[in-house]
Chains A and B, each alone.
Chain A
Amino acid sequence: MRNPTPPFDRFRKAALFAGLAALAAAGPVLASDSNNVSWTVVAEPARIVSVDGDTGRFRAHRWMDNGYAGGVSAFEAEATPSKDVTVRAQGRAIVDEDDYEFFININHEDRGFVEMQFKEFRKYYDSTGGKYYPFSQIGTVEGLEDLVLNIGEFKITGHAKLERLPDVTLTYEHEYRDGMKSRLTWGAVQEGGLSRNVAPSWQDVDEATDSFEVRLDDTFKGFDWYVSQYWESYEGDYTRYERNVSTNTTASQRKTRDQHQDPEADRISTQMGFERWFAKDRGFFSSGYRFSQIDNSELESIFERNEAGILTNFSNPKQIRDSYATNQFVSNTWVGHLLWMLSDSLTAVTKVKTEWIERDSSSLYRADSSPNSSGGSTPNGEIDQTDASEVDNKVRNFGESFSLRYSGIPRASLFAEYESEQLRNWLTEDRRSASASEVFNRESIAHTWRNAVKAGFNTSPWEPVKITLQARQRWDDINYNNRRFTEPTTSAARSVFVDGQDITATDLSSKLTYKPCRWFIPSVRYQRSDISYDTWGVPDDQNIIESRGLTDTYTADLTILPNDRWSVTLSTSLQDSSILTPSANSTSAAQAPRFNSDVWSWMGTADYQVSDKVSVNTLARYSRADNFNDFTSIGLPYGADYNEWEASLGLSWRAKPGFTVAPRYTLYGYNPNDMADSGQYTAHVVWVDCKIEWK
């Protein structure tokens, strides 16, 4: 397991300082012609965070680290060193957060532009696992202290406008993720005879993608056309850690598993298209084609160890060595788009799509599974079982949509859309194994029909009132024609057990805004999403199983501007969300009651202009989630249950023209239901920003 805080590597360091050096060097150059320069710097000499409580949870929620950080929170400059040339630069560098952003664009009106950008930021993860409050000896299991993932990209683009030749655009991009993240593949915590999966899991991530694109754009006889060629190379190196914890001395209850995965992928993509407006811009037609191929491979090993870190095979071991997989995915996609203004107030839009996909995959799964025993045995270092998988897949996909837009009713616009998709998915999956329970064979043709109807309007029947409404109904009908499948044995399942599924989704979105005057603007918004899943099994289990997900979201906003000095906004949002499956009616210990994701939030801001030079801004926010169902007797309640709050007070003081100092203080708090979760914190954050600008 490597250092959880990876060092700042040479490439990123070089890119950052090259950018900053360019900015610093550009300063005097840009400023040499002071009439054409605008410049803004927001320095953040100090951001101090003090956390009382769970620092890891604070960092994961707030995307910032405990302690001191400083740098430049925003930098913007624009200059026109000559008549045809514009230089724009933007940047950000909060050093201790590895939070960097740098962008520079040099544009010549007639010749093209060169653009470079670099961005990196950190994502923090909480390293604790779950909580099962009936456990009396083991509380929340702590993981590693520092789960941090650096995410970044570097991109350079050059665009040249050539006389009598197509415009050329070259783009190179390097993306990366490097560090450690949490996973939800929680291990077992055993206390006496009771076991619950609440031990934290995490993953080492080291991933890089390089891509290069060449694109040509031009116009020929009124047709705007383009061609692009794209290459991409991706490499990943991941290690996922599982651990098990127990109060018992049973060795298998304390085992660990590390899964190493090394995927690589190369992708090429050729895309071309053209478009044209015609009939004096009353009509528009475009068409495009894309060929895309991904070739990937993966090397995987799993190491199962006892508590002392020694390779050990317990019962049903997972001791995997150098398993190898390859996949090739090829898609050909054609799209067409036609827009036609039938009249000044009626527009029709038609879109079509045809897609052919082919996938060819195979893998070898190599296990060192002997000897093994409940008490643990040392693996013999030989591959005892190799499972070979072969998968072929062909998909034919056709999509169509037809929509109308009508603006003939005064102060209103209406639209309606019908979308349809037909898929034929032919799939063969075969796995050979010496173990009867791992043999798997299936040939299936799935036909999917998707249909969606949408209608809506936007109207302002009189000036203070604005109403928008959109309703959508979607039907997905999936039927599996299972031509070949593995027959079930006493120890192995049939290879297919779903015969078909219907998904019906109803979505409604509406908003009403009332603006009787400039200083008083209330609005309300309501959204509903109702999705039902009807699933039925293979012929001996044709009962239709119904599940449902329902979400209602109510949002209300009020903006008040009592005078030129005051600005107040108030906002509240209630999300009432649940998922219900037939398992809620089960009388077994596997019963899973309705899962709720309800949350209610309130937020208010108030800004006051004390004088021409001084303004005060405040924010208060409170959020409450109340979803804990105490069904610990049959399982784990996972519903989020917490109180969360935030209060902020800031001052902006224009000390002299073009120079503003803005200190700000924010209090954050998070208090979860301690029967369901840990992670309580209170945090104090102080920022000091100094803004300098001139033109």
Chain B
Amino acid sequence: MKSLNGRLCMTLCVLSLSMASTAWAVETAPELSSDKKTIEAIPEYVGTETCAECHEKEVRAFKTSTHSRMAIAGEEVKAQGCESCHGPGSLHVDAGGGRGVHIQNPGKNPEACFACHSDKKHEFRLPYRHPVLEGKMSCTDCHDPHGEDVRPWSGTSVKDANETCTKCHKEQRGPFVWEHEVVREGCTTCHKVHGSINEKMLVARDNNLCQRCHTQASFPTIGRSSHATRLPGGTCFSAGCHTAVHGSNFDDHLRY
């Protein structure tokens, strides 16, 4: 465990570096942001055609995105196309554009995605979750909102079912000698990837998770082996049982 002195030393060091740099810049800058520069106007929607004047490439490519099929044509509906996610753009246009200038960046702020996907706002607050609201991940780490497939994988994408997940979760990528076929169906078969009340973001925490597929008429016989005394003891993936649920290099029953 780090000592208190060590912690304070590191903190002061980082603060000093950034504050010294800040102070130097403050001294050479004529003034800090003043009240006179505060924008009080309410932004208005300008339409996708206006966005295309500077962002022609992005607007053009967006037509191929599955998100674009939600766009309503014409000027009758105000918040459409780019502005349905990035917010009304009039102030951004008036300011001459610029990254982050009076425009929302959903890659940095998940609230833009929650405007439509409102259920995810609660899922990311469940006890076991990917740390999007903590700022350590963003929706765009797994989803490409402008992409041909917004969801991480489809039956016609170059990526396979789990490639987005195994970018970080390399241990589960394999390949393994003895595969667990369900992994090819996708990680979401067993995991609720945004957030879950169950540990390891599981869809179900008990044997029902496995028994969706591994139940037969002669239950509690599974295969040809009676599990009558084993199943009450705990989950299928308990110690000494089927611990290699993502695949095993050595055991056909995924025991190790």
Contacts and interface: CB of A to CB of B under 8 A. Distances in A.
Given A43-B19, A300-B250, A389-B250, A359 B175 contact: yes
Contact of A410 (B30, B76, B170): B76
Interface string A587-614: 0111010110101010100000000100
Contacts of B70: 413, 458, 468
Interface on chain B toward A: helix, strand, loop, or mixed SS? loop
A488 B208 CA distance: 26
A339 B148 CA distance: 11
A21 interface: yes
Nearest to A21: B17
B249 A236 contact: no
Given A501-B213, A547-B215, A597-B197, A327 B208 contact: no
Nearest to B76: A411
Interface string A19-41: 01101111110111010010101
A362 interface: yes
Contact of A121 (B10, B69, B118, B136): B136
Contact of A586 (B1, B34, B177, B220): B220
B76 A184 contact: no
Given A61-B127, A185-B237, A494-B224, A24 B18 contact: yes
B203 A695 contact: no
Given A95-B10, A603-B122, A331 B240 contact: no
B252 A535 contact: no
Contacts of B19: 41, 43
Given A236-B171, A399-B155, A497-B223, A571 B118 contact: yes
B104 to A, nearest CB: 15
B216 A537 contact: yes
A187 B158 CA distance: 41
A501 B180 CA distance: 15
B5 interface: no
A557 B178 CA distance: 47
A663 interface: no
B2 A96 contact: yes
Interface residues of B, number: 115
B94 interface: no
Contacts of A549: 203-204, 212
A592 B206 contact: yes
A104 interface: no
B200 interface: yes
A335 interface: yes
Contacts of B99: 78, 88
A363 B256 CA distance: 13
Interface residues of A, number: 196
Contacts of A34: 25, 28-30
A288 B126 CA distance: 39
Nearest to B30: A34
Given A39-B22, A571-B118, A590-B220, A581 B14 contact: no
Interface in B215-256: 215-220, 223-225, 227-235, 237-240, 243, 249-252, 256
B210 to A, nearest CB: 9
B63 A284 contact: yes
A365 interface: yes
Contacts of A488: 224
Given A429-B252, A583-B215, A636 B7 contact: no
B205 A638 contact: yes
B28 to A, nearest CB: 5
Given A39-B22, A623-B125, A625-B197, A277 B204 contact: no
A133 interface: no
A197 to B, nearest CB: 3
24 contacts: A32-B28, A69-B11, A78-B99, A95-B11, A175-B170, A187-B238, A188-B240, A199-B239, A298-B249, A325-B250, A333-B158, A335-B158, A460-B76, A463-B77, A468-B116, A501-B213, A535-B216, A579-B203, A583-B208, A592-B231, A595-B209, A612-B35, A642-B127, A695-B33
Top-5 shortest CB links A-B: A197-B234, A658-B32, A27-B21, A325-B249, A31-B25
